Homo-oligomer: A and B are copies of this chain.
Amino acid sequence: MSNQEKMVKEITAMEEDFAKWYTDIVKKAQLMDYSSVRGCMVLEPHGFAIWENIQKILDKKFKDLGHQNVALPLLIPESLLQKEREHIEGFAPEVAWVTHAGNEKLQERLCIRPTSEVLFCEYFSRKVHSWRDLPKLYNQWCNIVRWEKTTRPFLRTVEFHWQEGHTIHETKEEAKNETMTMLGIYADFCKNELCMPIISGRKTDKEKFAGAEETYTIEAMMHDGKTLQSATSHYFGDGFSKAFDITYQDRNNKPSHPYETSFGMSTRIIGGIIMTHGDNNGLVLPPDVAPIQIIIIPISMNKAGVLEKAKEIYEVLKEKYKVALDTSDQTPGWKFAEYEMKGVPIRLEIGPNDIKKSECVLVRRDNREKSFVPFANLNDEIDQTFIKLKKALYEKALSQRNNLMREAKTKDDFNKICSEKHGFIKSMWCGEKKCEEILKEELAVSSRCISLTDDKISDKCAVCGKEAKHLVYWGKAY
């Protein structure tokens, strides 16, 4: 890091203008930049490095469960996309069409993948012939294009990056287990590595993925009371395998259709990290995904021994941590602000007085707590600080989420809650789409998910008063 960075300017306070606070962080922490195509973004080094860390962690989890990575094509022929009716209806309005190559018009239009179910189905139909070929547990890390009308960095972009897992199984049970296992992987990742509390649940028919029998989701709460769908896991039954004529000889030597799933998490989750942990000084990153975990800032750099000691500490720490040393000619104050903006979890300050005492100053990004740490204890203290910091991030987010968790037993309760910050609204639901539509139209809230537990807060649907079937979490979604 050299003095090439511009002076850090104050960002808009989130209480003043939340949307502006958000884009200020995206720009000033240099996570993402715009391009000349509306909604197609540049993932800048600091933003992409967060995504790389997310990839590394998730990829290992997937592989430990036996998933293999593949790369399927970017382009889908129109006729292939049309094979599953619900699926094409869901995606057709938002796909980009390739119609020409060089100077020639193509015989058939090709769309850029908005998701890859149909490509995996085509591939499976060529590869799956016997029960011995099952299961196949595949995943790909790739780019996706959906022509969204309104876009916002990370949260909704025309091109985005994600992983999409696609699996195919002999039995319903196995496929359903896979769906729930992968939901659990996402939930654990959010909790343990991203320090984000989430609510797991099932989507209503209205909100589920086009072509899925069941869609499961993890939903997170943002600072502003809006919810973020953070990952989804789908059970397809044999709908796709019938539509694509994937047939295999089962153990009784009879032709049979296998069962499929898919699941995905995207760069959108980086928007979730910003709006879960960020503050008015900028980004706050959980250590597991921080591109720089520790920034070392020498104080009075020209004094004898300071730079040497800082370099010595850097060399030791880099064996174990993602650490950077800023020896640029910017002032320490500038540097403090810069790395706070970038969300670096731990700052170490090393000055002449510290060196005399064989210690340095350790500052936590989340609460700015300062401590003096003897050089000899540095490794231990950093490990402990990461544990404490992660716990604090999670608990702070959980307490904020819980403060925004309200119950609605009647439509009036909904009205009242929605006139304030939305948050999560727990409420009983009859199961009718009509009641969902009323809440959507009148209050702009949607069903986020159906609870996976049997808990209930009353016996009646809060909207129509009829018998309730499910406890649902509602909210205003990103």
What is the interface of chain A, defined by CB distance below 8 A to chain B? 2-4, 33, 35-37, 40-45, 48-49, 51-52, 68-77, 80, 92-103, 109-110, 112, 119, 122-123, 126-127, 130, 132-134, 138, 142-143, 145, 147, 159, 161
- Which residues from chain B contact A68 at a C-beta distance below 8 Å? 45, 48-49
> In the complex, are the beta carbons of B122 and A75 less than 8 A apart?
no
> In the complex, are the beta carbons of B100 and A42 less than 8 A apart?
no
Please report the C-alpha to C-alpha distance between residue A321 and residue B147 in the assembled complex, in whole angstroms: 44
> In the complex, are the beta carbons of B96 and A103 less than 8 A apart?
no
> In the complex, are the beta carbons of B147 and A101 less than 8 A apart?
yes
Query: Which listed residue (B36, B71, B99, B161) contacts A43, Cβ 8 A?
Result: B71
- Which residues from chain B contact A98 at a C-beta distance below 8 Å? 96-99, 112
Please report the C-alpha to C-alpha distance between residue A145 and residue B127 in the assembled complex, in whole angstroms: 25
> In the complex, are the beta carbons of A74 and B145 less than 8 A apart?
yes
Closest to A45 in B: B68
- Which residues from chain B contact A74 at a C-beta distance below 8 Å? 40, 74, 112, 143, 145, 159
Given contacts A37-B76, A48-B71, A74-B143, 12 further A-B contacts (CB under 8 A): A3-B132, A4-B130, A4-B134, A35-B119, A43-B70, A73-B159, A75-B159, A94-B101, A96-B98, A96-B100, A96-B110, A98-B98
Most chain B CB neighbours (cut-off 10 Å) among A49, A72, A80, A94: A72
Known A-B contacts A101-B97, A132-B4, A142-B143; the reply to A72 vs B119 at CB < 8 A is no
- Which residues from chain B contact A2 at a C-beta distance below 8 Å? 132
CB distance from A72 to the nearest CB of B (A): 5
> In the complex, are the beta carbons of B112 and A102 less than 8 A apart?
no
- Which residues from chain B contact A147 at a C-beta distance below 8 Å? 101-102
> In the complex, are the beta carbons of B122 and A36 less than 8 A apart?
yes
